[in-house]
Amino acid sequence: MKPTVYVINGPNLNLLGNREPEKYGRATLADVEALCRTAGERHGFEIVFRQSNHEGELVSWIQEAGRAGAAGIVLNAAAYTHTSVAILDAIAAITLPVIEVHLTNIHAREPFRRTSYVSQVAKGVICGLGPQGYGLAIAGLAGLAGQETRT
């Protein structure tokens, strides 16, 4: 059985493609999912891909990934990145590597976006590279897991 990577997306990411395209681009969440599945195949991972607008649901999925013994989590917690102690605590409670991803460079935007509760407990952070950041995060998890990569 292949190891699993959870890709968890937070609020408003269901609107990708239409949402402020000058910032977030034209790719939809379905496009991001397809990219993740391709990266998963390349690196020998099963991909569980989720999105929710609800903080508690994100917390439950982080716990679920921990219980399932996943290889890691790629997490774009969106706006909850900047506010959620509950997500910080959920990540701290599991031992899996979590790679924090943002489509935009959160350090080059409004000052409140520079605070990330996720970064404090993330293994790594990728931001500003658009959807390809998700693929890079999956490659990073493969490297951490010593997972073989198909070229």
* Active centre residues (catalytic): 24, 102
How far are the Cα atoms of 5, 97, 139 from residue 69, in angstroms, in the given order?
Answer: 10, 11, 18
- Is residue 37 within 8 Å of residue 4, measured between CB atoms? no
91 residue type, one letter: I
User: 39: burial class by Cβ within 10 Å (0-12, 13-18, 19+)?
Assistant: buried
By beta-carbon proximity to ligand DQA, the closer residue of 29 and 79 is 79
* Interacting residue with ligand DQA among 3, 4, 12, 15 (CB under 6 A): 12
Beta carbon of residue 17, minimum distance to ligand DQA (angstroms, whole number): 13
Report 27-46 residues binding ligand DQA (CB under 6 A): none
DSSP tag of 130:
T
Beta carbon of residue 62, minimum distance to ligand DQA (angstroms, whole number): 16
* Interacting residue with ligand DQA among 4, 104, 119, 132 (CB under 6 A): 104
Per-residue binding letters, 52-81, with ligand DQA (x by CB under 6 A)? ------------------------x-xx-x
Q: Is 87 in the site for ligand DQA (CB under 6 A)?
A: no
Q: Which residue is nearest to ligand DQA (CB)?
A: 78
Beta carbon of residue 84, minimum distance to ligand DQA (angstroms, whole number): 11
Closest CA to 124 of 144, 142, 99: 99
User: Which residue stretches of the chain are H helix?
Assistant: 21-24, 29-43, 55-68, 85-92, 132-145
The residues binding ligand DQA (CB under 6 A) are 12, 76, 78-79, 81, 102-104, 106, 113
